Each structure stands twice: as structure tokens, then as C-alpha cells.
Structure 1
Amino acid sequence: MQTESDGRRRAPGRSGIEVGALGFGCWAIGGEWSAPDGSPLGWGKVDDDESVAAIRRALDLGVTFFDTADVYGAGHSERVLGRALAGRRDEAVIATKWGNLFDERTRTMDGADRSPAYAREALIASLRRLGTDRVDLYQLHLGDTPLTLAAELRDACEEFVAEGLIRAYAWSTDDPERAALFAEGAHCAAVQHACNVLEDAPEMLSLSEERGLISIIRSPLAMGLLAGTREPGRRAATGDIRSTPPAWLSWFEAGGVPAEHWTTRVEAIREVLTADGRTLAQGALGWLWARSGRTVPIPGFRTVAQAEENAGALAHGPLRPEQLKEVAGLLA
């Protein structure tokens, strides 16, 4: 893998696919969808026309990597992304995920399927929704899949590469052992995992360095806490997953109110992150680039303004070494 000296390009693993140092996550643009019990899994209502405009604006600003999943919005995110990229497909690198079962009609998720047969079925369905003939990066979305089953799915992905249906693959998991298993595949290019200035992931970042993978960083802005938009005491809207946060979502309390423990930590580092003319979000992205040259954070977005702010982080680049050290000291 090679990266340019300015840190703005990434060539994932052994795939030869070059992406920018910043991607955009397409969970939020999927709109509202839910679990079988009715609890929200999306980020609330969205304007599809605004989402399309934001994706196209991102392309104009040099952001070409878009990460989605078939289950986001129960297929809706892929459809919106496909619509936005119509006529500009070759400018973009598309990553999507599979493994969860869902109903597009009711917009609900229900269960999972870890079989190689379903991996193929899901891939064909994603290609149809995206309006494309190939997925650039195909990712297993079930982070706790047993290693024996995962090996079969890795081999299935190698078959998809040989058939020209995908160019490379990855696993969305926070477990280094699982990521290492996928990395044994010839066309494994990346691992997607959580990481941000509030919650580091040193083992995952080390694995990426050792195996020549790209770390696709989900939750780089802690689902809004590091975007400067989630004020203390502010409740999330109905239909937003943050309004009834699941156990893994520790940044928010019931009602989507930011947890005091985390807001206190954000305030402790705000001055460093917003130095040099950065917004809070741009500083948080700069921290990730300073943390590792293999990171590609994928902040979510729903508007053109959000796309422009996130893309603006590229002009600032990574935090300086002394700023990285200062942040570590403040959070220690």
C-alpha cells in the first residue's frame, strides 16, 4: 500500500482501489427503519433530494468513498446512493455490507443469515438497488460471526471477486482476531471498526498497520457528540436511534440526551480540536488522521452543509504531533 505525503489518499490493502482519506457514511440517509419491537434503527426523517445533492456535492469536493449497507433504511440508503451516482458511477468507490435480514415493505430488520448462499443473494440485490454492475468493497456486517463460518464467507467473497461482482472485501468488526481471519484472503482490503478521539482502538489500528489494511472508521464523530450539534440536555427526535439507545450506544442516555460523562470529555478537548480554524468535527477527523495514516473516517451526513463541513477537514489535514499529545494528556 502506498499513501501520498499529504496523507490525502489511501490505496486499500491489496486491491489497488485508491480512495481519499475521507469517506462518507450513508446510514443516516436511509431514513427511518426499525427493529421488530418498533425501536428505531435509523437517524430520523430525511429529505431524499437533499441527500442526493449532498452526495453530489461531496463528489465535487473530492470525497469519492461512500459506505452504506443493504439494511440501512431497509434498502433505502442503497437506492438513494445509486440515484445520486447515476451518470457519475466511475467517480465513486462504493462500499456496502450484508448479513442482516430486512423487509423493504415494512422497513424493518429481522434476523441475520450467515450462509454463503445468502451472501450471493444479498450481493445481487444490492447491485440492483445501487444500479451498478459491481461493488468496490463488500463487507460482512455481522461482527460476531464465528470464525469457521467467517472463513466460508471469506472464500465466497474470493469467488465474487473472480466473477467481477466485487473488487475487494472486508469485515465490519471490532475484534482483531476476526479481522485477521479475513485479512488472510488475497483480496481483503480493509477492516471497518469503531474509533474516535473519545474511544481509541489501538489493537485494530495496529492490525491494519501489520496487515496492510485500511481502517474504515465508523462513529468517527461519536454519532454527533464530536460534531458540535448534540448539546447537553438536548433530546433526540422520534425515529432516531439515539432516542432509545441500545446497550452499545453509551454516548447517550434515554431520550437521546448526551451522557454527562462524555460531554465533559468533549469540553476538555474542544479547544485543542478547534485550534487552527477547525470546527469541532474537523478537529475530530484530524485526530484520526494523526492517529494513523491508514484511517478513512466515514462521518454520516444528511445535508449539503454537513457534507461541506466534513469535506473541509481535508484542507486542515491531521492534527500536529504536539496537539495529538495534548489531547492524550487531557483525556488521561
Structure 2
Amino acid sequence: MTIGTRTLGTLEVSAQGLGCMGMSQAYGDTSDRAESVATVHRALDLGVTLLDTANVYGDGANEELVGQAIAGRRDEVVLATKFGIVRDAEGNQGAKGDPDYVRQCCDESLRRLGVDHIDLYYQHRVDAGVPIEETVGALAGLVAQGKIRTYGLSECGAQTIRRAHAVHPVTAVQSEYSLWTRGIEDDVLPTCTELGVGVVPFSPLGRGFLTGAITSASQLGEGDMRRGLPRFGEDNLNTNLAIVDALRAIAERRGVTAGQLALAWVQSRGEHVVPIPGTKRRTYLEQNVAAAELQLSADELAEIEAAAPAEAIAGDRYPAHLQRNVGR
């Protein structure tokens, strides 16, 4: 089992990447570092080249873990990390993008990762107080210095993409995108297609929900961020489970899992679309990679979308205090 390739702007990457966040935060127990490192190694063995992390994941611990995992194999990796999310003493989340901060974060990430350059450097959230042109100017300077090869934006709006692209070409836009989160289809996805910008969907499995493994909020541990997301509240969860049941029925006819079907749907959105399902275990990694080669007919795509219509999803993506930083 190996995986094909796609392009994000000027970067050639595997058709599916690996999101590494959950190895250090957000989705329960992160104590099995050895398994996380083994998962990265297995991903590389399978031809997965795009690894995704961020300075904020585990307060830097995730970059350190990824750096450890790729030591000696740097030339096999298209390494993506991010800057721009900041939290105050109470844990409230904001965004920052002034040039001095951009340069400082890049140097810190290079040190934690143990590398001399970053292949794809994202602004994690757009800072409403700093013109995007100033942030991108700093990123262009980092490209000129050889500290980063390319840059991207995350969870931004279409006009921001256009303004940024006018200063220096945007390589990729990372946003949540799956059968139950389709907001980028209105403006962001068409804008990226027009400009030749790659699209990197995170949480293409609906934060694990579309696999069918989560049937009750009580399954989520105290440290699991999904406990605070509206879609995982019991009332909304029960409504959304009907969608997973419908997907599972289609998947069984194809001899695949519901999660693989959901991933294959994301893969079908275009040759410039490269999802980064996250996992910290080799078993799930191998299931995800297998989905990259699953071809869906037009009839199957229509049936999947009828089973999971966007308007049928119950609950918002984020609570209000997190949603306000999205789509700028």
C-alpha cells in the first residue's frame, strides 16, 4: 500500500497528509509518545510526505515530537507548521500577525523542529488588527532568507486570500472541511481554485465523528476538546448519528468503513485538495491512507451527499468565543 501525489501551489505532496495535533493535545490521552513517533514513521513508509503541526499544539511539544520523529528522514518530509494563535492567562484565544512576531515564531519553530527550513508556514488565524499585507510581507522575507519555502493561511476568508496572494503567492489554505463542515464551498474553495491555491482540509472525518466510533458524549474524556463543541452535545449528537448510520450503509456496500467513505469524498473535491486526517495510532493511519485510493462514481458521490446534506447537521462548529476568529 502506497499513496499517490498531488500539488499544493508549487509543492508536490502526498495525496493525503498526516495531522499531528492529537499526538500532543485535544483528543484525550497523549502519553504514548512512542506510538505517536511510530505512527509518523509508518506514515513516511507508506509515502505520506505532508506532516502538519503548529507552535500552539501542546505549547510547542508537538513540534518537538515531530522533529524527533523525522530526525534522519527530513528529505522525505514536506513539513508544515503554523503561527498566529495566542492565548491569555485565562485561556482565551486570539490571533497575532505583526511582522516581529512572525519572525520570532519562525525561529522558535525551527529550533523545536530541529530543522533549517519549514516547507509550508501557515498563519493559523488572521489577526484583525494587522493588515494581511504586513503579515505576508514578513512571510515573503522569510522565504527570501530561506527559512521557509512557501506560506499559507488557515481558516481565513476569500478576500483575505486575494489580498495576501497579491503580495506573494499563497501556496495553500487550511480549513476545516468534511461532509459535516462545508462552509468553504461558498467562497473560499472557488477562490483557491481560481488562483491556483491548494486546499488542505483538517478534520476531514468530522473530528472522528464520521467514523461512527463516537455514539455518546460520555465517551469523551475530561481533556477532550470535543466536549466543548456544540455538535458533540447529546441533543445534537443524537441527530447527527442518523447521518453516520446512512453513510455506514453506503460504505458497507463498497466494503469500506464509514470513515474511509467520508475521506474519499473529501479527496474527490479536486486534485488541489489534500486532506490531513489526524491520528496518533498506526492502525487508524493505515485505514486513512487506504481511503486515498478509493474512487467514487458520480452516482455514489450524489448518494453520499444526499445522506449527509449540509443543512441537516445539528450544532455549530465552535462555541462563539472560538468562532469569532474564523473566516476573517
Identity percentage of aligned residues? 35
Q: Is the 8 A contact 1:23 1:66 kept in 2?
A: yes
Q: Is the 8 A contact 2:98 2:130 kept in 1?
A: no
Q: CA deviation at 1:150?
A: 1.4
The whole-number CA distance in structure 1 between the counterparts of 2:69 and 2:252 is 32
- The match for 1:69 among 54, 58, 70 is 54
Q: Is the 8 A contact 1:230 1:258 kept in 2?
A: no
Q: Is the 8 A contact 1:78 1:126 kept in 2?
A: yes
The residue that corresponds to 1:175 in the other structure is 157
The residue that corresponds to 2:65 in the other structure is 80
4+ residue runs of structure 1 moved beyond 4 angstroms?
A: 108-112
The residue that corresponds to 1:22 in the other structure is 16
The residue that corresponds to 2:303 in the other structure is 326
Relative to the length of structure 2, the TM-score reads 0.86
Q: Which amino acid aligns with 1:26?
A: C
The residue that corresponds to 2:214 in the other structure is 230
Q: CA deviation at 1:276?
A: 2.3
Q: Is the 8 A contact 1:23 1:63 kept in 2?
A: yes
Correspondence 1:146-185 to 2 at 5 A: 146=128, 149-185=131-167
The residue that corresponds to 2:314 in the other structure is none
Q: Residue 75 of structure 1: SS of its match in structure 2? A: helix
The whole-number CA distance in structure 1 between the counterparts of 2:24 and 2:92 is 13
2:11 paired with 1:10: no
Correspondence 1:210-221 to 2 at 5 A: 210-221=194-205
The residue that corresponds to 1:139 in the other structure is 122
The residue that corresponds to 1:126 in the other structure is 109
The residue that corresponds to 1:277 in the other structure is 255
**Matched residue count:** 305
Q: CA deviation at 1:110?
A: 6.4
Cα distance change, pair 97–220 in 1 and its aligned pair in 2 (3 A): same
Q: CA deviation at 1:219?
A: 1.4
Relative to the length of structure 1, the TM-score reads 0.85
The whole-number CA distance in structure 2 between the counterparts of 1:112 and 1:233 is 29
The residue that corresponds to 1:39 in the other structure is none
Q: Is the 8 A contact 1:24 1:65 kept in 2?
A: yes
Q: CA deviation at 1:295?
A: 1.1
The residue that corresponds to 1:253 in the other structure is 233
Q: Is the 8 A contact 2:28 2:220 kept in 1?
A: no
Q: Residue 223 of structure 1: SS of its match in structure 2? A: coil
Q: Is the 8 A contact 2:7 2:272 kept in 1?
A: no
The whole-number CA distance in structure 2 between the counterparts of 1:113 and 1:126 is 16
Q: CA deviation at 1:12?
A: 1.4
The residue that corresponds to 2:316 in the other structure is none
The whole-number CA distance in structure 2 between the counterparts of 1:100 and 1:288 is 26
The residue that corresponds to 2:321 in the other structure is none
Q: Which amino acid aligns with 1:126?
A: S
Correspondence 1:42-61 to 2 at 5 A: 42-46=26-30, 47-61=32-46
Q: Residue 84 of structure 1: SS of its match in structure 2? A: helix
Deviations 1:35-87, CA, capped at 9 Å, x for gaps:
xxxxxxx2222111110000000010111101111000100110110000000
Q: Which amino acid aligns with 2:176?
A: A
The residue that corresponds to 1:93 in the other structure is 78
Q: Which amino acid aligns with 2:192?
A: S
Cα distance change, pair 155–233 in 1 and its aligned pair in 2 (3 A): closer
Cα distance change, pair 126–262 in 1 and its aligned pair in 2 (3 A): same
The whole-number CA distance in structure 1 between the counterparts of 2:261 and 2:93 is 37
Q: Is the 8 A contact 2:205 2:262 kept in 1?
A: yes
Q: Is the 8 A contact 2:143 2:150 kept in 1?
A: yes
2:172 paired with 1:190: yes
The residue that corresponds to 2:291 in the other structure is 313
Q: Is the 8 A contact 1:193 1:204 kept in 2?
A: no
Q: CA deviation at 1:308?
A: 1.3
Q: What runs of 5+ residues in structure 2 fail to find an aligned partner? A: 310-328
Comparing 80-89 and 284-293, the one that deviates more: 284-293
Q: CA deviation at 1:289?
A: 1.6
Cα distance change, pair 221–154 in 1 and its aligned pair in 2 (3 A): same
Deviations 1:92-143, CA, capped at 9 Å, x for gaps:
111111012369xx9x786543211011100000001111000000000114
Comparing 22-31 and 48-57, the one that deviates more: 22-31
Q: CA deviation at 1:226?
A: 1.2
Q: Residue 259 of structure 1: SS of its match in structure 2? A: helix
Q: CA deviation at 1:90?
A: 0.7
The whole-number CA distance in structure 2 between the counterparts of 1:241 and 1:289 is 26
Q: Is the 8 A contact 1:232 1:258 kept in 2?
A: no
